[in-house]
């Protein structure tokens, strides 16, 4: 049996890792990402300095099920200039000022003509909203409501120096091969411009998670995707149908940097391996957490869980998209997330993987009544490791009782409410004494 994978938790290591995650956020934050274009390529190039991702380009016009890969969007500059020559809105100060995927514009307009093209958030007058127009030829500017209220009658020079041309959709992929072909999918979206929680946080978390897993001998394989949301997932699924059969479970990483409680959105099935593993980690954390049942909107779990694929994909977040005021605004910035919360989320992802890697099923070799454990010194072997003497006895008895070949250690931990590591340790001691025997590890099914 492979050695337990358990992750290092020294304090200086935690501090360094939290700081490194935040630093990567700061580096990626200014880039103007979208579902295609240079911002995505630049983002993947930076991620590529940390982990060896494969960058793929899928040409515009490629059919992906009911969708078509759109023209590539790039932008060099955008502004609104008043008659005094002063830029009242400047793309260079925030890329949220331009509606993402705006067609090129170069014209003079009165205030009345311009108003229909301006988006604001009256309820948060200091924030700039994030607006997109991916599949409709249109354009617009976003600004704070205060700025909007101060606009005077004037002749404005309106420029959006963008291009929509045949190019490609870009995504990044990394597959870490384990002993088994069965895979866990870990996916995030890289299409949002300057916003942190949604979803640079997920991108940064998966980059560091991949970095950690690369150092370990893994039983299962792990596929990381850095894709534009929706069209990226659909394009990937369409181009990689053959790979899908190996994917047994997975998580969409999004909104993992804010101070809210961890929130888990269950997979479509609701009680799959990933659901049990995540819920166990959250329960064992001792911190407050929330569980949400699956719903067919949200992020890319919708595509991976569509009936033709029906993958068990959950999403482990902190405050979910749409549930915080700063969502899809300029206030979802570097101040809204913190190194500590990013790290805490990473830790939970690692613990989920630790459970999956260490989950086994045993068979009780002495199934007719309990073996005489005192005689064999079983309890002493676990002494002091996990909990009180009573806890140790209980862990032993749970493993013996439920190890009829149909319950995994994770099932036993879930049913007993005991820590996974305690259950795993009990099984190790029982296996060493020949009281249980490990069943052949087939895969993740």
280/328 with CB nearer Zn ion: 328
Q: Provide the pairing of β-strand 183-189 with 221-227.
A: parallel
CB of 413 to Zn ion, least distance (A): 34
Task: Count interface residues toward Zn ion (CB under 5 A).
Answer: 1
CB of 34 to Zn ion, least distance (A): 12
182/198 with CB nearer Zn ion: 198
CB of 328 to Zn ion, least distance (A): 6
Choices 8-16, 168-176, 193-201, 359-367 (CB under 5 A): range interacting with Zn ion: 193-201
253/430 with CB nearer Zn ion: 253
**CA end-to-end span of the chain, whole Å?**
19
CA atoms of 261 and 290, how far apart (whole Å): 7
Alpha helix ranges (H) inside 181-317 = 201-214, 231-239, 241-244, 273-285, 301-304
198/300 with CB nearer Zn ion: 198
CB of 53 to Zn ion, least distance (A): 22
Provide CB contacts within 8 A for 295, sequence distance 6+.
265
Question: Residue 307 carries which DSSP code?
Answer: T
Integer-rounded Cα Rg, in Å, for the chain is: 25
8 Å CB contact between 219 and 2: yes
Tokens representing 157 are 């020079």
Question: Residue 2 carries which DSSP code?
Answer: P
Choices 194-202, 310-318, 335-343, 388-396 (CB under 5 A): range interacting with Zn ion: 194-202
Q: Provide the pairing of β-strand 404-408 with 436-438.
A: unpaired
Between CA 288 and CA 338, with CA 192 as vertex, the angle to 5 degrees is 40
Choices 195-203, 272-280, 363-371, 420-428 (CB under 5 A): range interacting with Zn ion: 195-203
Position closest to Zn ion via CB: 198
Count of beta carbons in the 10 Å neighbourhood of residue 339: 18
Choices 7-15, 105-113, 198-206, 387-395 (CB under 5 A): range interacting with Zn ion: 198-206
- From residue 440, how far is each of 198, 362, 363, 395, 421 by CA, in Å? 41, 9, 10, 22, 20
Choices 20-28, 61-69, 190-198, 381-389 (CB under 5 A): range interacting with Zn ion: 190-198
CB of 203 to Zn ion, least distance (A): 12
198/344 with CB nearer Zn ion: 198
CB of 129 to Zn ion, least distance (A): 12
8 Å CB contact between 103 and 138: yes
Q: Provide the pairing of β-strand 87-90 with 72-81.
A: antiparallel
Please report whether residue 198 would count as binding Zn ion according to CB under 5 A. Answer: yes
Provide CB contacts within 8 A for 288, sequence distance 6+.
261
31/378 with CB nearer Zn ion: 31
Choices 82-90, 97-105, 196-204, 260-268 (CB under 5 A): range interacting with Zn ion: 196-204
Q: Provide the pairing of β-strand 168-176 with 54-59.
A: antiparallel
198/301 with CB nearer Zn ion: 198
172/228 with CB nearer Zn ion: 228
CA atoms of 191 and 200, how far apart (whole Å): 9
8 Å CB contact between 179 and 3: no
254/361 with CB nearer Zn ion: 254
8 Å CB contact between 418 and 402: no
7/321 with CB nearer Zn ion: 321
198/428 with CB nearer Zn ion: 198
CB of 282 to Zn ion, least distance (A): 23
Which residues in 128-194 belong to E strands, given as ranges? 141-142, 155-165, 168-176, 183-189
Encoded one letter per residue, x for contact with Zn ion by CB under 5 A and - for no contact, window 14-43 reads ------------------------------
CB of 323 to Zn ion, least distance (A): 12
CB of 197 to Zn ion, least distance (A): 9
CB of 398 to Zn ion, least distance (A): 42
CA atoms of 316 and 108, how far apart (whole Å): 47
Please report whether residue 332 would count as binding Zn ion according to CB under 5 A. Answer: no
Q: At what angle do helices 11-28 and 38-48 cross, to 10 degrees?
A: 160
CB of 289 to Zn ion, least distance (A): 22
Encoded one letter per residue, x for contact with Zn ion by CB under 5 A and - for no contact, window 53-92 reads ----------------------------------------
Residues forming contacts to Zn ion in the complex (CB under 5 A) are 198
């Amino acid at each position: 049996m492979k050695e337990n994978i358990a992750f290092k938790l020294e304090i200086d290591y935690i501090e360094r890792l939290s700081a490194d995650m935040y630093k990567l956020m700061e580096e990626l934050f200014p880039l103007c990402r979208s579902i295609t274009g240079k911002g995505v390529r630049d983002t993947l190039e930076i991620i590529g300095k940390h982990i060896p991702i494969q960058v793929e380009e899928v040409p515009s016009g490629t059919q992906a099920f009911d969708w078509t890969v759109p023209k590539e969007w790039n932008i060099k500059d955008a502004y609104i200039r008043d008659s005094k020559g002063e830029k009242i809105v400047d793309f260079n100060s925030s890329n949220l000022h331009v509606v993402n995927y705006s067609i090129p514009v170069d014209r003079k307009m009165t205030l009345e003509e311009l108003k229909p093209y301006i988006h604001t958030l009256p309820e948060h007058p200091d924030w700039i909203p994030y607006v997109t127009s991916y599949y409709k030829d249109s354009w617009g500017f976003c600004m704070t409501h205060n700025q909007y209220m101060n606009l005077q009658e004037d002749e404005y020079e309106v420029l959006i120096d963008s291009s929509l041309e045949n190019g490609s959709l870009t995504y990044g992929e990394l597959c870490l091969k384990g002993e088994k072909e069965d895979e866990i999918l870990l996916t995030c979206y890289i299409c949002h411009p300057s916003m942190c929680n949604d979803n640079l946080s997920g991108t940064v978390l998966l980059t560091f998670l991949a970095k950690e897993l690369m150092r370990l001998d893994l039983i299962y394989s792990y596929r990381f995707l850095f894709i534009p949301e929706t069209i990226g997932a659909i394009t990937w699924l369409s181009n990689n149908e053959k790979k899908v059969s190996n994917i047994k479970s997975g998580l969409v990483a999004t909104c993992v940097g804010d101070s809210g409680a961890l929130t888990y959105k269950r997979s479509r099935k609701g009680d799959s391996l990933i659901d049990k593993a995540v819920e166990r980690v959250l329960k064992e954390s001792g911190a407050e957490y929330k569980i949400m049942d699956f719903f067919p909107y949200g992020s890319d779990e919708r595509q991976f869980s569509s009936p033709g694929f029906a993958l068990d994909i959950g999403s482990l977040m902190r405050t979910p998209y749409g549930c915080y005021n700063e969502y899809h605004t300029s206030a979802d910035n570097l101040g809204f997330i913190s190194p500590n919360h990013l790290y805490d989320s990473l830790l939970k992802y690692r613990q989920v993987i630790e459970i999956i890697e260490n989950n086994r099923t045993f068979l009780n070799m002495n199934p007719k009544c309990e073996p005489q454990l005192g005689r064999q010194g079983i309890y002493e072997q676990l002494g002091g490791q996990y909990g009180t003497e009573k806890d140790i006895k209980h862990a032993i008895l749970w493993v013996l009782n439920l190890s009829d070949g149909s319950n995994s250690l994770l099932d036993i931990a879930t049913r007993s409410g005991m820590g996974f590591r305690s259950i795993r340790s009990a099984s190790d001691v029982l296996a060493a004494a020949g009281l249980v025997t490990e069943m052949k590890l087939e895969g993740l099914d």
